[in-house]
Amino acid sequence: MLKLAGACLVIAGGAGIGWYMAQLYALRIRLLRELNQAIQLLYGEIEYAATDMVEILWLLGERGEYFRPFFGQVARSLEERNGEPLYHIWEREADRLSRTGENRLAFTREDIRFLKGLGKNLGNVDRATQLHTLGSFQRQLEGMIAQAEESCRGQAKICRVVGTVGGLLTAVLLF
């Protein structure tokens, strides 16, 4: 009876790991979609409201779910006005985002590179150029989202199957 319970736990553990890995693919899509919404808000605030970058970042921090700490910390650092340029603050926070937090496993190197590139092009050129650049980044991000959705379909299914089958095989080998 104890062996049967142990085998069930091993199978459930393998399946759980597979489902967890599948959820990371879905989380990446949610993260990219939130970033897309942030770019849309940035675009609108720069084009129509001509809002200050610090105010926009605070607004993004209030509206965001996954990127709330990122935008909030960038805005806080800019308000301190210690002379550090926006890009350096943005890059430091992007590095921190990729190393810490609950979402770090869902980010790819490409995602962090994209986020750093976005920060590099904010706040340092005229308004028209910024809007053009934001439009370009948004199109690129939409392609990344489509690619992530396509890979999620196949990879998530593979993760779930491999996790479950791995748990079954481990249970058979152990017992």
Which pLDDT tens digit goes with each residue over 111-127? Answer: 889 999 988 888 766 78
Q: What is the rounded distance in angstroms from the CA atom of residue 43 to the CA atom of residue 149?
A: 24
Among candidate residues 92, 90, 101, the one with its CA nearest the CA of residue 38:
90
Residue 163 lies in a domain: no
CA distance 1 to 28: 41
Q: What is the DSSP string of 53-82?
A: HHHHHHHHHHH-SSSHHHHHHHHHHHHHT-
Distance (Å, whole) CA 96 – CA 69: 10
Q: Does residue 139 lie in a domain region? A: yes
Confirm whether 9 is domain-assigned.
no
Task: Return the structure tokens found at 155.
Answer: 């990879």
**Is 101 a residue whose pLDDT tops 70?**
no
- Quote the CA–CA distance of 157 and 63 in Å, as a whole number: 32
Domain for residue 174, yes or no?
A: no
Q: Is the pLDDT of residue 100 over 80?
A: no
Would residue 102 count as lying in a domain?
A: yes
Contact 118, 70 (CB under 8 A): no
The answer as to whether 168 is a domain residue is no
What is the total count of domains within the chain? 1
**pLDDT of res. 151:** 87
Range of the domain at 64: 30-149
Answer left, alpha or beta for residue 125, where phi above 0 means left and psi between -120 and 50 means alpha: beta
Condensed to tens digits (0 to 9), the pLDDT of residues 132-169 reads 888 999 999 999 999 999 988 888 899 999 999 999 99
Q: Which two tokens stand for residue 46?
A: 């720069």
Q: Is there a domain that residue 87 lies in?
A: yes
- Specify if 98 maps to a domain: yes
